[in-house]
Each structure stands twice: as structure tokens, then as C-alpha cells.
Amino acid sequence: MPKTRKAIYPGTFDPITNGHLDIIGRAGELFDEVIVAVATNSSKSPLFNEMERMELCKAAIAEVMPSAKNISVDSFEGLLVDYAREQKAIAIVRGLRVLSDFEYEFQMALMNRKLEDITTVFLMPNEKYTYLNSTIIREIAKYGSDISGFVPECVRKELEEKFKKN
């Protein structure tokens, strides 16, 4: 039986965007299994809690890629390399939007390789998503502007609800 090529795509996903989904789809074509790993980062104050972010990821993947059976969603806390080892992953997937992302991601990839000898695969999203990030999406949604071109419908609805409550 051939070895499963499993990759971890980590992130805060607060919220998941079309850019994230583009990377997930590309990773799903390269690996037998992709785990979208929602990070619990104590240094950040996310808009959505961990469970909400996981549910949004699942809903967005189901909405945009309903036939993608090799993609799952999980969460983790602590070092990514420890989680990757537990999952028996062979790679970490990271998206690079712009040149400024590279320096930080390169540093992290080298450290992860030193700690666990795991490969980091850098994927670039479609150019129409290079300017997207979750912080910008939250800011646009907060002021009631249309975000429908940036996130799946299920995420748009949840953002609108979240900001109505606040």
C-alpha cells in the first residue's frame, strides 16, 4: 500500500477567504490529504472563536469545493511541527501573496525544517487574490461594504451577523 502524502495548511482563518480556498484547492491537487489546521494563537484576538473558525472553514470548503474528499479541517495549539508530526504529515503548505510574505515564511520554513525535518511548500494564489487577507476582509465587513467577491457566501453571512451583534 503506497504511503499517503499528507500536508498541513495552517492558519488563523479569521475568516477564511477566497485566497485561502484557492491555496487549499491547489494543495488538494498536490497531496493525497490536506488538513486545514486552524491555529489557536494566544497572541491574537480573533473575531471568531476556534469552533466558529473551524465551522466556517468546513462550510466554505463544502460550498466552494463540494467534491474535495481529501480535505479536512482540524485545530491545533502549540508548535506546528509537533502537530505535523502527530498527523504524520510530510509537508506544510504556506501561501505567498506578495514579496513581503516571503522573508517571514522563509524563516519559519527553515526553523520548522530544523526542528522536525519537514518540507514547506509555498504556493502562490491566483493573482486576483494576492491583495486579500483576513484583516482587510474584517475591516471592510465591519463598515458594511460588500465582501461577496472576497469570501464564500457562508462566510459573508457570518461576518454580517457578527458585526450586527457588535
Give the active site residue among 26, 134, 138, 156: 134
**Phi then psi for 37, rounded to 5 degrees?**
-105, 110
Catalytic (active site) residue 72: no
Give the active site residue among 58, 85, 97, 113: 97
Catalytic (active site) residue 20: yes
Give the active site residue among 3, 44, 164, 165: 44
Distance CA(30)–CA(34), nearest Å, equals 9
Catalytic (active site) residue 145: no
Residues 6+ apart with CB under 8 A from 85: 116, 118
- In the chain, alpha helices (H): 18-30, 50-64, 80-87, 99-116, 134-142, 153-165
CB 67: neighbour CB atoms within 10 A?
Answer: 5
Give the active site residue among 6, 20, 94, 138: 20
What is the residue type of 100?
Answer: S
DSSP states along 54-79: HHHHHHHHHHH-TT-TTEEEEEEES-
Query: What residues act catalytically?
Result: 20, 44, 97, 134
